[in-house]
Each structure stands twice: as C-alpha cells, then as structure tokens.
Structure 1
C-alpha cells in the first residue's frame, strides 16, 4: 500500500537517493550528496515550502517538492514544482499522479496563483506524463548562469 505524506527531517537520506536517481536522467544536474542533503534540509526547514513523499512499507519510493515564489506577473505567490520522481520499480502505478495531486492540493490551499515546473526536454516519458496531467508548455525557455 502506498501512503502519500509530507516529508520529515528523518527522510532526508532516502530523499537524497531519489534525487540521485533523478539526476542520472537529467542532463543539467550532477548528483552531489552534500549539496542535495543541504537543499533538502533547507526545504524542510523553510516553513513555506513542501516536500511530499510516497511511502511503501516505510520505504520512500517517490517524492515531489514545491517551492513558493512571488510573481509580479501574477501579483502574488506562485509555486515552482521540482524533483518529481518515482523510483523505477514503482513507476506506472499512479504514484506520480498522486504525488502531483498532493502538491497541487497543497498549492491551492496556500492560495498560490500559478504552478510551474521545468522538465528535461529529452525526457519524453516525463513530458508525456505532465501533458497527461494537463500541464502545458509555455513560450518561455529556461536560461541559467552558474
């Protein structure tokens, strides 16, 4: 049985393992356990962001993070969805949909005016998944300076 719940501090090690799996399929990111653990701890401690997990028999098999930002275009708070991953052996069971729905529900309860996400342009399974969940591409592109 899969349980969807909010992540807690003791989950960080398992969440980092999921990020390792996610970053292995994303061209723009390289896994660095120390950085990912630091980021996860900051998300969990922020009080304004959310990490939702899918758990099976005390094992975390999926996660989704949601960060809040202020948008001048929307005139208020919006959400940036990141790190939606279900470990390979648990995919195609509706867990990603449940994680995404939980994140959207939380965002609506917080009064966020828009949700957005970035996806690897070559990750066709992810793009098809988001399209199936009624997420649409925009005219914006992501630029980055490191």
Structure 2
C-alpha cells in the first residue's frame, strides 16, 4: 500500500497523499473537527477539548490508536482516527472509527473513502476483525457515504452518560 493507493484500491486525486498525523498538525486537525462537530447535533465545538483529545490520540499513536491525514499541496485537508477496543462478541479487537472529516470543498473526490480504507488496513494489521463507528442519524450525506462504502446499519443504538466527574 502506498500513500497514493490506499488499501482496497480506492483512488484519490493525484495531488493527495495519506500519512500519519503529527503534533505539528494539531491546529489544522482541531479546525477539521470544528467543521465536523458544527454539523453533528451531539457534539459541541470546543477547541480546547478537541486539542486535548487529539493530543491524547497522537501521544498514543501506534499500537492501539491511529490518526491519519490526507494532505494536498502541503496542506492537511482531511483526517480520520481509529482506536482498538476488545470485542467480547468477536473474541478479538474491534476498531472504532472515531472521526472522519474531509474539508467541505474537497468532499466527493474519494479522499474520505481512501482514509477509511487506510484506517481499515491499520485495524486489520493490529488484529481487528470488525470496524464500527457512530454517525449522526440526521446527517444524510454522511450516512449515504458510509453505505456507499460498504457500511451497514445495526439494530444497536448508542447511549451515553456524560455527567462523569473530570479527573
């Protein structure tokens, strides 16, 4: 797999490469999450929290977490993150795709599909037998994108408890 041809044969524009994110990318990654969270009802844009979360992801990148970016003409234009969890149903690792966002002006060019394929390849290399993600149920373009890329809905619903004390 090269940066030009991610796993799964997904093609991307000639000037786009996919690479591991670096701490130097943090401000751009926070801006991409701002784009994503501004269209998702369950999340709020909070640059400080997003910076802290991305730093935690980058500090632990490698064995259990990864952050990939797509770069065009020297600028980060998209990102995807994944992390491993143990699935008792699978008896193996499952990878949770936490964030996937392509800057609005470049959507529809195969960059998101290429990032997904790259995250999937990383997950398989690290023993995952299943990928999963959460998507905003009202975000029809995102749901159509995932369906087009082979993702299927489940009967499960997501519940959350967020009033935990900060530690």
Task: Give the shorter-chain TM-score range.
Answer: over 0.9
Q: 1:123 aligns with which of 136, 139, 151?
A: 139
Runs of 4+ deviating beyond 2 Å = none
- Mark the runs of 5 or more structure 2 residues left unpaired by the alignment: 1-14, 163-167
1:59 maps to 2:75: yes
Pick the structure with greater CA Rg.
Answer: 2
- Mark the runs of 5 or more structure 1 residues left unpaired by the alignment: none
Match of 1:78 in 2: 94
* TM-score, structure 2 normalization: 0.85
Match of 2:40 in 1: 26
Secondary structure class of the residue paired with 2:129: coil
Q: 2:152 aligns with which of 133, 136, 146?
A: 136
CA RMSD of aligned residues (A): 0.8
| Residues 18-53 of structure 1 deviation map (CA, whole Å, 9 limit, x = unaligned) | 000000000000011110001001001114200111
Secondary structure class of the residue paired with 1:125: helix
